[in-house]
Amino acid sequence: MKKAFKIALSILLILGGVALSALYIINNKIPVLNPEGMIAIKERDLIVTASLLMLIVVIPVFIFTWYFAWRYREKGGGESKYTPDWEHNYIAEYCWWGVPFIIILVLSILTWKSTHALNPFKPIENGTKPIRIQAVALQWKWLFIYPEDGIATMNYVQFPEKTPINFEITADAPMNSFWIPALGGQIYAMPSMRSRLHLIANEVGEYRGRSANYSGKGFAGMTFKAVSSSETDFKTWVNQVRNSGKSLGMKQYEAIVKPSENDPVSYYRLTDSDLFEQILANYLIPKKEK
Amino acid sequence: MFGRLGEHALKHDWIEYAAGLSMVFGALFVIALITYYKKWTWLWKEWITSVDHKKIGIMYIVFSFIMLAKGLIDAAMMRAQQAFAVGDSMGYLGAEHYQQIFTAHGVTMIFFVGMGVMFGIVNLVLPLQIGARDVAFPFLNNLSFWFFAFGGMYILVSLVIGEYAGTGWSAYPPLAGIKYNPGVGVDYWLWSIQLSGIGTMLSGINFISTILLMRCKGMNLMKMPIFVWAAFGMMILVVFAFPILTGTLAMLMTDRLMATNIFTDTLGGNPMMFVNLFWAWGHPEVYILILPAFGIFSEVVPVFSQKKLFGYASMVWAIAAILVLSFIVWLHHFFTMGAGPTVNAFFGIMTMIIAVPTGVKIFNWLFTMFRGRLVLTTPMYWFLGFIVTFTLGGATGVLMSIPAADFQIHNSLFLVAHFHTVIIGGVVFGFFAGFTYWFPKFMGFKLDEKLGKYAFWCWLVGFFVAFTPLYLLGFMGVTRRLNHYDVPGWQPLFVVAALGVILVLAGFGFQVLQIVQAIKTRDQNRDTTGDPWNGRTLEWSTSSPPPIYNFAVTPKVDSRDAFWSMKKSGLPKYSKEDYKPIHMPKNTSAGFFIGILSFLATFGLIWYMFWLAWLSIAGVIFFICKRVLEKDTDYYISVEEIEKIEAARNG
């Protein structure tokens, strides 16, 4: 009786835990699982498919474990068969070299295809002219440069919906990683390197973005807001920034590159349209040590 | 005179003072105890200078337990911080302190707990399982331990003098370079790993030689216990992987000390090279930790199923496959660095393939239980817990090996949850199984089963409570190493995770209690037979604890599960005539002195006290020469003495 009670209690607890987490998942917006961009949706589907495939191995393992541990226990196990010298069986062993291998084969094909399809360096083509945004990871803030629109922003990025976004990413700081979970996976931001990331937002919305690779003491505050708006709203916003903002060229950049934490959102009118290239070039032509 | 070591090195915030002081007082307390009981000579003669593999193994495990306690406190501090630090509340730890904690936690757990316990168990068990009297190079073994211990010492020293690295345990440049981290933290990190790495490398060579050259008569390779095979695999990985780490760290060191610009972001340096090299060592390292755990389970499961291990040959091939594959998967640690899709896909697929041999091992263990007679002791509990946890960890690992999926999980708490699932579920549970299983062999008395099972449940449930929320948080876009966040919705999950850590701490508490209780009641629980579990391998054929020479007469073996078949066909009876004088190595203090002088040398390099560094290096060279030229390094145990010891055993 006591034992049955214990088992019932633990089953209840496990079910309760599962139910609670299910409730939590439903009631909270989880960006990776409820994505809002085409790339992120494909990545989510990939995660779900791969997880289901793996259950083909995981579930039998769980069943075997508990069934064998129960059935063949010495105390109270009763008259279950006992073969102390049985140590080898070709069919069985072929099975567990073979079946997982087939699953891995299926996963490999999935991997090969998805890795090429979702290559972050590959432009998205949907007929709309893409927008180019350059992101620079600094200590400890994000600078976004819109070379074509002649503006720049800090810790805030806006783009039109349904338009492919070509991010060019670098760092003038230790290595960071650029990540907007609701729109799609990340890529490293490294000094002297230009990474590319192609994302798209399916609807109008607001998303959290942040650095995902530890870059020093201000790292926790390296977040930014990503906003997807309609084409017209975007144009108005660009005009506002261009007319109201402070100006940003290489000279002003020298000031904002200094380490700072939890910086507020700022807007700039871009005076050096090749600022991004200059930041990259700084690493090729070493400055004199001060 | 003191280089850059000034009084500012001793300035900390009050939490750091508390940690430092508790450590200093702990050390003073232990020193006082040793002095009070007049145990200094005993400690020096029986332990510090000992070349006996059993004693060295115990020292590894004791040291690792201290480090485990330290690492768990780190973990608890981080979780406590994250449970509160939301929105306006910044928590109780500053960012600069927090970053040292997560770095120290990682280094402690990987290098000084994971590696420490596994080298401890291998030291204890391996020579006995192959019927040897000691390892191939007993002095080297002692030296390895001291390199390891003094490396670990840096993590403790950094609590009081200076600071530890604030870069994460993998310390990628340029963050770990002199440009962004000019302080001593990264140097402490560098040398703690470098010193222990030298020890590890020496151990690797030592154990490969031991396995290849010191097996008893009749034990050919395919008759070795699977634990020995696993250790063999582990040591091969050590010998091939650790030079990469040593070289990489050496280059980072010259970057920091002499501006060689190998990994800097300018002047032709390339930080991405460091990342590649680090993980070219780092992924085999994972298997260095897990292979011996696999070996332990391969011993535990047959014994407590009272049945032969299923699929021995499969097991060996699985180890071999893991060995090879572990060297061609390193890039999966940074799919997000921007390699092309073909490269990423290759490394992803290679990673998945490792799941096959690992799965084979799991099925073999399960079918060892099939039609067995299961004795559900604590080691078996750990095994069952391992299967559940490790399978889940493996599945999340395969998920992350798909590059496009990894882009959305990399560096998030999902990743943190994944590697804790495999390392706690695999390495830690494996060690606990082995610890309980072999404890009576080396201590001469058993651990309490009831407390052991309490500990198990606390660890298992605590683990899931602590890490399930992290998987979810990862999907919510929460990255690792955050000392603060501003999304209130994340807090409940962090609180749950913190509760899980409390349960894990309770589990650790039960284990400490279990050891204390076992020592207190040792007279009731003595193992007089030497074979408390009805064992199958040679270590159970000698007394508990084994005599200094392990076996009075080296055993002869004609099958796998050698001791099992001996028990069936009648144990060999030895008489006086069978005993011959036993050739044994003498204790030596050289290992300890080389260890402590290397510590001082590197301490000098860290603080720019170059006179100290040069002086200590000269000292190291002196002790090496002294040891090399020493003639009086061995002795014989006479037949009379063997007789006396054996007679005492047989009562």
Which of residues A5 and B417 earns the better pLDDT score? B417
Domain of residue A194 covers 131-284
Q: Is residue B611 part of a domain?
A: no
Q: Is residue A124 part of a domain?
A: no
Same domain, A152 and A194: yes
Alpha helices in chain A (DSSP H): 2-27, 38-71, 90-117, 231-244, 250-256, 275-284
- Among candidates A115, A174, A215 on the partner chain, residue whose Cβ is nearest the Cβ of B403: A115
Q: Is residue A196 part of a domain?
A: yes
Q: Is residue B615 part of a domain?
A: no
Whether the predicted pLDDT of B19 surpasses 50? yes
Same domain, A171 and A55: no
pLDDT computed for residue A57 by the predictor: 84
pLDDT computed for residue B6 by the predictor: 78
Which segment of A9-13, A215-219, B377-381 scores lowest on mean pLDDT?
A9-13
Same domain, A234 and A160: yes
- What whole-number distance in Å separates Cα of residue B435 and Cα of residue B443? 11
Mean pLDDT along residues B623-651: 89
Q: Is residue A199 part of a domain?
A: yes
Q: Under DSSP, is residue A193 helix (H, G, I), strand (E, B) or coil?
A: coil
Instruction: Report B:434-473 residues touching A (Cβ under 8 A).
Output: 468, 472
- Lookup: tokens for A70: 């129960």
Instruction: Report A:169-198 residues touching B (Cβ under 8 A).
Output: 174-175, 177, 179, 181-182, 184-188, 190-193, 195-196
Q: Under DSSP, is residue B11 helix (H, G, I), strand (E, B) or coil?
A: coil
Same domain, A100 and A206: no
Whether the predicted pLDDT of A290 surpasses 50? no
By C-alpha distance, which of A181, A199, A108, A113 is closest to B341?
A113
> Looking at residue A145, which CATH number applies to its domain?
2.60.40.420
Give the pLDDT confidence of B24-34 residue by residue, as tens digits: 898 999 999 99
Which of residues B267 and A158 earns the better pLDDT score? A158
- Residue A221's CB is within 10 A of a number of other CB atoms, namely 21
Same domain, A103 and A142: no
Same domain, A108 and A198: no
pLDDT computed for residue B5 by the predictor: 81
Q: Is residue B580 part of a domain?
A: no
Mean pLDDT along residues B209-220: 94
Contact B331, B279 (CB under 8 A): yes
Instruction: Report B:328-387 residues touching A (Cβ under 8 A).
Output: 334, 336-338, 340-342, 344-345, 348-349, 352-353, 355-356, 359-360, 362-364, 366-367, 369-376, 380, 384, 387
Q: What residues contact residue B545 under an 8 Å CB cut-off, 6+ apart?
A: B54, B441, B442, B443, B444
Same domain, A156 and A259: yes
To test the contact with chain A by mutation, choose from B363, B389, B392, B487 the residue with the greatest count of A C-beta atoms within 10 A, namely B363
- pTM over cut 0.90: yes
pLDDT bracket for residue B527 (50, 70, 90):
confident
Q: Report the number of distinct structural domains present in chain B.
A: 1
Mean pLDDT estimate for chain B: 93
Give the pLDDT confidence of B533-555 residue by residue, as tens digits: 999 999 999 998 999 999 999 99
Same domain, A148 and A257: yes
Domain of residue B247 covers 7-86+94-541
Mean pLDDT along residues A140-159: 94
Show the 3-state SS of B607-626. CCCHHHHHHHHHHHHHHHHH
Give the DSSP H or E segment for B243. helix B226-258
Give the pLDDT confidence of A157-190 residue by residue, as tens digits: 999 999 999 999 999 999 999 999 999 989 999 9
**What chain A residue is nearest to B268 in terms of C-alpha separation?**
A284
CA A277 to centroid of chain Cα atoms: 26
Q: Report the number of distinct structural domains present in chain A.
A: 2
Q: Is residue B550 part of a domain?
A: no
Mean pLDDT estimate for chain A: 90
Whether the predicted pLDDT of B309 surpasses 80? yes
Share of chain B above pLDDT 70, in %: 100
- What whole-number distance in Å separates Cα of residue B632 and Cα of residue B627? 10
Phi/psi for A119 (5° steps) reads: -55, 120
Give the pLDDT confidence of B342-400 residue by residue, as tens digits: 999 999 999 999 999 999 999 999 999 999 989 999 999 999 999 999 999 999 999 99
- Among candidates B271, B353, B388 on the partner chain, residue whose Cβ is nearest the Cβ of A175: B271
Is B148 buried (19+), middle (13-18) or exposed (0-12) by CB count in 10 A?
A: buried
Q: Is residue B576 part of a domain?
A: no
pLDDT bracket for residue A286 (50, 70, 90):
low
pLDDT computed for residue B529 by the predictor: 87
- Lookup: tokens for A257: 């590159």
Mean pLDDT along residues B225-249: 96
Q: Is residue B183 part of a domain?
A: yes
Answer whether A147 touches B (CB < 8 Å): no
Q: Is residue B208 part of a domain?
A: yes
Answer whether A30 touches B (CB < 8 Å): yes
Same domain, A66 and A172: no
Share of chain B above pLDDT 90, in %: 81
- Residue B8's CB is within 10 A of a number of other CB atoms, namely 8
Q: Is residue B310 part of a domain?
A: yes
Chain A positions touching B266 (Cβ under 8 A) are 192, 283-284, 286
Q: Is residue A176 part of a domain?
A: yes
Angle at B342 between CA B340 and CA B346, to 5 degrees: 120
Mean pLDDT along residues B416-421: 96
Measured CA distances, A263 to A90, A241, B259 (Å): 65, 18, 33
Whether the predicted pLDDT of B648 surpasses 90? no
Instruction: Report B:241-300 residues touching A (Cβ under 8 A).
Output: 265-267, 271-272
pLDDT computed for residue A118 by the predictor: 93
Show the 3-state SS of B169-218. CCCCCCCCCCCCCCCCHHHHHHHHHHHHHHHHHHHHHHHHHHHHHCCCEC
Q: Tell me which amino acid residue A232 is.
A: T
Q: Is residue A16 part of a domain?
A: no
Q: What residues contact residue A167 under an 8 Å CB cut-off, 6+ apart?
A: A133, A134, A135, A178, A187, A196, A197, A198, A199
Give the pLDDT confidence of A33-73 residue by residue, as tens digits: 889 999 999 999 999 999 998 888 899 999 999 999 988 88
Same domain, A269 and A145: yes
Answer whether B397 touches A (CB < 8 Å): no
Same domain, A64 and A177: no
By C-alpha distance, which of B454, B450, B465 is closest to B506?
B454
Contact A37, A182 (CB under 8 A): yes
- What whole-number distance in Å separates Cα of residue A51 and Cα of residue B394? 11
Q: Is residue A55 part of a domain?
A: yes
Same domain, A187 and A241: yes
Handedness of CA B383, B385, B391, B397 (dihedral sign): negative
- Residue B22's CB is within 10 A of a number of other CB atoms, namely 12
pLDDT computed for residue A78 by the predictor: 66
Whether the predicted pLDDT of B13 surpasses 90? no
> Looking at residue B130, which CATH number applies to its domain?
1.20.210.10
- What whole-number distance in Å separates Cα of residue B381 and Cα of residue B68? 21
